[in-house]
Amino acid sequence: MAFLRHIGKHGDRKVAIVFREVPGEPHMALVVYTEVLGQNIHDPLMACIESDIGQNSEDLALALNRTHTKDGNIILQKLHAEGMLKKIRTELVVMTPQPGTQIKLDELNKILDEMKQGEQAVKKLTEMDASMGMQDSLQVAKRLRGDQRPAPAGSDAALNAAAALLDDNGLATSLRQQAERMDREAKGLLAESARLLKEAAALDPVKAVKESAKSKKTAKAEVTTARKTRAKVTV
């Protein structure tokens, strides 16, 4: 089973971690007890957690704000409106990302915070190692941590955090970051395609001519799509 974020236990009860740290109260987390959810919310919520969007989100709340219940409501708003979001101490939450793996949420938060602080150093090392074909440790860190964006503090930290995620500017920032990442990935695919075609041409010059035209057209289409997506969210 693959590594799965945002899943944990509070005692014997399964929880989904909506915010791993409540702004202004880092010792507290905001969770929802999945066992009390009806299928109208439960099934889309679990699907969201398992999706790429859910797994790449620093906090599950951002993904839930873009996902709907079966009757068309935004999940994050529905959970808040029905009082299903609960604050509990991070030390009481045990994360269970996969069978046989457990770690307390407060300990995990410390590790992820340390990773964030050392990210700039990791980035420099990654750039130095890139030409040698070594593993991109920065991307490994980001897959575990995601892109953290601070939420405003206030008298009711949980509600302020949820409000920040519902803010159009906050969502626009996230979309721009995703578009930029897609653009970089598309450029990487185009470069890799050119390299592979060059190797193929050396092995089979005749067939390589047809494959080259088709592959270049596909790769350029991917780059164009990524750039259009970036342009839309930038406006």
Q: What is the pLDDT of residues 81-118, one digit of tens each?
A: 889 999 999 999 998 766 777 889 998 888 887 777 76
More confident site: 5 or 174:
5
More confident site: 143 or 86:
86
Length of the chain: 235
Q: Hunting for tokens 């989904």 — which residue is that?
A: 16
pLDDT at 77 over 80: yes
Helices 157-166 and 168-203: angle between axes, nearest 10 degrees: 50
Helices (H), 25-69: 39-50, 52-55, 60-64
pLDDT in tens, 163-182: 555 455 555 665 676 677 77
Determine phi and psi for 14, rounding to 5 degrees.
-80, 135
Residue 205: alpha-carbon gap to chain centroid: 42
